[in-house]
Amino acid sequence: MTSKQKGFSLIEVLITFIILIVGIMGLVKLQTYMERQADFAENSIKALHLAESQLEFFRTRSISGASGTIAFSSISEGTYSIVSGSYTTTWTVTDSLSGALKTVDIETGWDTRWNDRQSVALKTMISQYNEFDN
């Protein structure tokens, strides 16, 4: 028995639409993921810049505070923060080795469009002895 049917059946059309919809949904999900990752990349670069700026401030220390640097003794132990736009930079200074060495933890955070809290963190140790002191 041969069929003289021409064209597509309703089931074939529905299956084609389902495959097409699944493909489009995958592309929309991919676009959303890429947008979220690009947003994170942009914000993390800005946050890293702010954290590195604060870190560089601590690197301009010396024993005496000469030549426009800050005195090592003026870097006091505690937790501090500054707000720059939508970014909050917080740093914690702790003393170790009888005050000759200080540990600095710097974290810069921001809220995403989806109200998720993201942050970047840096940690360093600074000595009272600077390579520029005589």
1 part of a folded domain: no
Q: Which two tokens stand for residue 91?
A: 């740093």
In the chain, DSSP assigns E strands to: 61-62, 70-71, 78-84, 87-96, 101-111, 117-127
pLDDT band at 2 (very low <50, low <70, confident <90, very high): low
Q: Among the listed ranges 23-32, 70-79, 106-115, 116-125, which one has the minimum average pLDDT value?
A: 70-79
Q: Among the listed ranges 19-28, 41-50, 66-75, which one has the minimum average pLDDT value?
A: 66-75
Q: Which domain holds residue 46?
A: 11-127
Q: Residue 39 in 3-state DSSP?
A: helix
Q: Which two tokens stand for residue 68?
A: 């426009």
Question: Does pLDDT of 62 surpass 70?
Answer: no
3 part of a folded domain: no
32 part of a folded domain: yes
CATH of the domain at 115: 2.20.25.110
Provide long-range contacts, Cβ within 8 A and 24+ apart, for 88-97. Answer: 89/50, 89/51, 89/54, 91/54, 96/125
Contact yes or no for 88/110 (Cβ under 8 A): yes
132 part of a folded domain: no
83 part of a folded domain: yes
23 part of a folded domain: yes
Give me the number of domains the chain comprises: 1
